Amino acid sequence: MPEIGAPAEPGFHAFIYTVEDEKAPKTFAIAGSGEAPEGKGNYRDHIVRLGDTSPDALREKAAYVLGEMERRMAHFGGSWNDTTGVQIYSVHDIQPLIATEIGPRGAHRNGMTWHFNRPPVVDLEYEMDCRRIFDETVLPGGNA
């Protein structure tokens, strides 16, 4: 949820549509993930450093999420070197994380976008998604 200028109601910002093409380069779109493991019944009880937004806690949260992105990309034979877009969603200062977590892993290599937003799950502080897509279309619409 945007911290500044939030819409009056939820809506879609983006979606991905695919068409099989054996001749096309490898692509992937990795869904967003925050600092809580999936498949545990509920997020809140498993959030990394729940309620702690100290610099050390944010570093640990980012490290967890980066690891999850890497795990998901590996299923598609991908890595940070392959991404064409990386997004970070957090209302916290991510600059220190670029030096300690994001940069050393190479997640920033092809550019990244920081959205000053809260992740959509209550009590999460840091979320990311990434993709390798070569043809993106922006449709005109509403108050985007």
Q: Flag whether 21 is in a domain.
A: no
Range of the structural domain that residue 94 is part of: 28-132
**Sequential DSSP letters for 38-103:** SSSS-SGGG-TTTT--SHHHHHHHHHHHHHHHHHHHHTTT--GGG-SEEEEE-SS--HHHIIIIIH
Q: Flag whether 107 is in a domain.
A: yes
Number of domains observed in the structure of the chain: 1
Low-confidence ranges of the chain (pLDDT < 70): 142-144
Residue 71, token pair as written in the block: 């795990």
Q: Flag whether 32 is in a domain.
A: yes
Q: Flag whether 125 is in a domain.
A: yes
Q: Flag whether 139 is in a domain.
A: no
What pLDDT does 142 receive? Answer: 62
Q: What's the pTM?
A: 0.91
Q: Flag whether 90 is in a domain.
A: yes
Q: Flag whether 137 is in a domain.
A: no
What pLDDT does 65 receive? Answer: 99
What pLDDT does 82 receive? Answer: 97
What pLDDT does 90 receive? Answer: 98
Q: Flag whether 67 is in a domain.
A: yes
CATH label of the domain that carries residue 42: 3.30.1330.40
